[in-house]
Structure 1
């Protein structure tokens, strides 16, 4: 699914994305580290996978983050 970067802290590597549905999902430094990316900017479009089949579920968080064509990243469980 697609999302836009909502927050990103380059020092910690953690942040959050805003899904196209309007749902805000956090990601931690491990997810960013596995992405192979070096930086994210607020508003940047990214592809994501969530911990739940339905990312609208309470407690869902990102397990994978990537930009198509720039690093597919590995999934964090």
Structure 2
């Protein structure tokens, strides 16, 4: 699933993403660390994995969305 980085705290490695429907979804340090990222800027497109549903839904993995080389 894709989303957009919304907030990020580099010290705690926590933040939130916005799903494409505008729903905010927080992530914790283990989800950030799972994607082996070093930094995240608001507005960057990310790929995420989630588990749970409704108010129990949480991000378990996030990494940068990469686009194929147009060549």
Question: Is TM (by shorter chain) over 0.5?
Answer: yes
SS of 1:21 mapped into structure 2:
coil
Residue equivalent to 1:17: 17
Describe how 1:50-69 pairs up with structure 2 within 5 A: 50-52=50-52, 57-68=54-65
Displacement of 1:68: 4.0
In structure 2, stretches of 5+ residues that fail to align are 67-71
Listed as ranges, the gaps of 5+ residues in structure 1 are 70-77
Q: Which has the larger radius of gyration?
A: 2
Q: Report if the CA contact (8 A) 2:2-2:65 is conserved.
A: no
TM-score scaled by length of structure 1: 0.78
Aligned residues: 66
TM-score by length of 2: 0.84
SS at match of 1:32: helix
Counterpart secondary structure, 1:58: helix
